[in-house]
Every structure is written in structure tokens, then in C-alpha cells.
């Protein structure tokens, strides 16, 4: 039976049927394979491990060169690897002027330099099928086998730490791209929300966490927000998860904007947050390493046995934690 997709990520069940069975020849050097919640591939390369990630920017036309570098670098860093080399494909709609392309590249260059990344190649094209520019990035990083971390590495009993606040990237996009729908929100709140785009990198804190013993898995929540990121981590680790939603921090700016638009901040695009699965005996040490980079850290849940499934608790209410089918941002399209 033919299945029609909605805007956003392809559903996990469809990935299992239509994507993961078709991944070419197996490789003995492949250390992290394709799978739900696994945002990177890792390949043994002598004494080193090369880590690869690819992600497009489709939810906004604002600062897309910068966003592309950061979201791809985030995936690399959650594997405990230093992002180093970046390529991208830039697709432009008809009648795009050269100045627009230059601004995308200037933002990309600035973001890359801030993280010590070289832009090593790519492709640019104008296509009649687009209404706004799209950047599809590809990042390569490097680490040692000892430092490699995978989203599939969580252990039963691990505590779940979350950095910063939920919905950071989505909040910045809403304040920038949908200000016409937010006229009842005070201008100073929108101004602060737009500055959240400066917090979407997790490279510094992820690399700091990766150096501490007891970190078993890391994942950065993107589409579908913190709740989807938590679900993906549990799926990648083949475990259940228990989450206390009241412990998930939400910034005042995010709460205000989401309330005005009728959106759930826990299901809003959350690049900038980092989910870390930590051995219970090492929670304090890992939290201190994260805080040393200047970020807020909250303990929000626990990984449990697979048969216990996923559960989200809010006060006395409990419900199943499942994949988020569509990010709140896309409900405004």
C-alpha cells in the first residue's frame, strides 16, 4: 500500500521498511551503522576514527549558511569527535541575486572559523523547484576509538542529562520568520528569542562530556524537539526511557512564543540542547564538565529495560513517550 509522507522527518517505521534494508555492501570498518537515532557514521581509519554526518536546513531561510555548519558539527561532536571538514550543496530558487549567495557563504565561513572547520568543497545550483534557498551540509570529523561515543551506547539505569533549554532553535526561527504572527508578544522578548540562534552549537559541551568517564551515549535533539530526541536515544540504545517533563527547562521566551502560537515547546526544534546518558555514579562529574563550558544542566530521566517502554510523567499524569510525527515549527507552514 502506498504511503504518503507529511512535512518533516520520514516516520521511523518507513525508514525500517524503505531505507535501512538498502545500504549497499557491509563494511567491517564501519563502527556506527545507519539506524534510528544514529545521526553519524563512524569508520575505522588506522589509529583514528573518521565520523561523518549530513543534514539539510529546510525549516528557515534565515542564516542558513551558519545553521548548516552548526547542526552538522553538532552531530559530529555528539560522537566525541572534533568536526574538521565541511562540504555542502546550495540549492537556490530562480532570480536569486549573487549578493544572497555571498551572504550565505559569509555566514558559513564565519561559523566554520569559529569552530576550527575548513570548508573544503561543495556544489551550487539554481532550480525551478524551490521557493527558498536550501543548504544540505556534509561534515567530517576525527576522534580516537577510545573517545568514540554513540547514541546506541546507553546502558540500563543511565541518568539522562539535558543542557540549556528546550526549543532553542525553533524559538529563534519563530521569532525571526513568524514575527507577523507574534504581534502580541513584547518586542524585547522577540529580540531575546532571536538571539537564541547564537546558542545552537553543542560542540564545546559535547567534546567536554566525551572526555569524562561514564558518558555512554549522546544525542542532539533537532526536529521533533527534546521529546523526539529522547525517544530516538532510547531507540538507538534499544532501551526504554522514563522522563520527568517538569524537569525539562523551558526559557521564558520559548514559553511565551509557544503559548501565543499554540505550540508545544517540548516538540519544537531543539538544536542547541544536548542529551547525555550517564552512568549513575558519574552524574556529578559529567554535569560539572558540562557546566564548565558555561551551559545549564538538568537531570530529566532514566534509561530503563526495553520491555518497560517509554513513559513521560507530568505531575500525576503519565503517558507513553513516542516518536514526534511532525515538529511544531512545520505546523505553521
Q: Give the residues across from 48 on adjacent strands.
A: 45, 144
d(CA 65, CA 102): 10
**Domains of the chain, residue spans:** 12-144, 151-332
Which pLDDT band, with edges at 50, 70 and 90, does 301 fall under?
A: very high
What average pLDDT score do residues 144-172 get? 96
CATH number of 12-144: 3.30.1330.10
What was the pLDDT predicted at 59? 79
Which pLDDT band, with edges at 50, 70 and 90, does 2 fall under?
A: low
Say which range, 6-20, 21-35, 146-160, 221-235, has the weakest mean pLDDT. 6-20
What average pLDDT score do residues 16-20 get? 94
Which pLDDT band, with edges at 50, 70 and 90, does 170 fall under?
A: very high
CATH class of the domain comprising 151-332: alpha beta
d(CA 258, CA 264): 6
CB-based contact 276:79 (threshold 8 Å): no
pLDDT tens sequence across 245-264: 999 999 999 999 999 999 99
What average pLDDT score do residues 301-324 get? 89
**How does DSSP assign 226-255, residue by residue?**
HHHHHHHHHHHTT-EEEEEGGGS---HHHH
What was the pLDDT predicted at 298? 98
Q: Give the residues across from 181 on adjacent strands.
A: none
Strands 310-314 and 240-244, by their bridges, are parallel
d(CA 90, CA 237): 34
| Gyration radius of the chain over CA positions | 19
Q: How many CB atoms lie within 10 A of CB 147?
A: 16
List b or e across 165-178, with b for residues whose CB sees 16 or more CB atoms inside 10 angstroms: bbbbbbbbbbbbeb
- 212: which 3 cell numbers? 569524562
pLDDT tens sequence across 60-92: 888 999 999 999 999 999 999 999 999 999 999
- Secondary structure in 3-state letters for 127-169: CCCCCCCEEEEEEEEEEECCCCCCHHHCCCCCEEEEECCCCHH
What sections of the chain are H helices per DSSP? Answer: 12-18, 64-77, 98-114, 168-177, 187-194, 203-210, 225-236, 252-261, 283-291
d(CA 13, CA 229): 16
Q: Give the residues across from 31 on adjacent strands.
A: none
Amino acid at each position: 500500500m502506498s504511503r504518503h509522507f507529511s512535512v518533516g522527518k520520514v516516520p521511523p517505521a518507513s525508514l525500517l521498511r524503505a531505507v535501512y534494508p538498502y545500504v549497499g555492501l557491509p563494511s567491517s570498518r564501519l563502527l556506527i551503522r545507519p539506524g534510528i537515532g544514529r545521526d553519524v557514521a563512524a569508520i575505522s581509519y588506522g589509529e583514528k576514527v573518521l565520523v561523518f554526518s549530513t543534514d539539510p536546513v529546510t525549516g528557515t531561510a534565515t542564516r542558513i549558511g551558519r545553521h548548516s555548519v552548526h547542526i552538522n558539527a553538532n552531530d559530529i561532536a555528539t560522537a566525541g569527535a572534533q568536526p574538521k571538514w565541511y562540504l555542502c550543496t546550495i540549492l537556490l530558487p530562480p532570480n536569486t541575486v549573487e549578493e544572497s549567495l555571498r551572504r550565505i557563504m559569509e555566514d558559513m565561513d564565519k561559523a566554520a572559523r569559529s569552530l576550527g572547520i575548513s570548508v573544503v568543497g561543495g556544489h551550487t545550483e539554481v532550480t525551478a523547484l524551490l521557493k527558498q534557498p536550501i543548504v544540505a551540509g556534509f561534515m567530517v570529523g576525527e576522534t580516537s576509538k577510545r573517545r568514540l561515543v554513540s547514541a546506541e551506547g546507553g546502558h540500563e539505569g543511565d541518568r539522562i542529562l539535558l543542557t540549556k533549554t528546550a526549543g532553542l532553535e525553533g524559538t529563534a526561527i519563530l521569532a525571526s520568520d513568524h514575527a507577523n504572527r507574534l504581534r502580541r508578544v513584547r518586542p524585547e522578548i522577540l529580540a531575546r528569542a532571536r538571539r537564541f540562534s547564537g546558542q545552537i552549537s553543542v560542540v564545546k559541551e559535547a567534546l567536554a562530556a566525551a572526555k569524562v568517564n561514564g558518558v555512554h551515549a549522546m544525542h542532539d535533539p533537532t526536529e521533533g524537539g527534546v521529546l523526539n530526541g529522547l525517544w530516538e536515544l532510547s531507540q538507538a540504545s534499544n532501551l526504554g526511557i522514563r522522563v520527568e517533563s517538569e524537569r525539562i527547562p523551558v526559557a521564558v521566551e520559548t514559553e511565551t512564543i509557544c503559548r501565543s502560537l499554540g505550540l508545544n515547546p517540548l516538540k519544537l526544534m531543539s538544536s542547541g540542547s544536548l542529551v547525555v546518558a550517564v552512568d549513575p555514579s558519574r552524574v556529578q562529574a559529567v554535569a560539572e564538565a558540562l557546566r564548565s563550558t558555561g551551559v545549564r544542566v538538568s537531570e530529566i530521566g532514566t534509561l530503563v529495560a526495553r520491555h518497560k517502554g517509554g513513559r513521560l510523567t507530568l505531575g500525576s499524569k503519565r503517558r507513553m513517550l513516542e516518536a514526534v510525527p511532525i515538529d511544531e515549527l512545520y505546523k505553521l507552514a
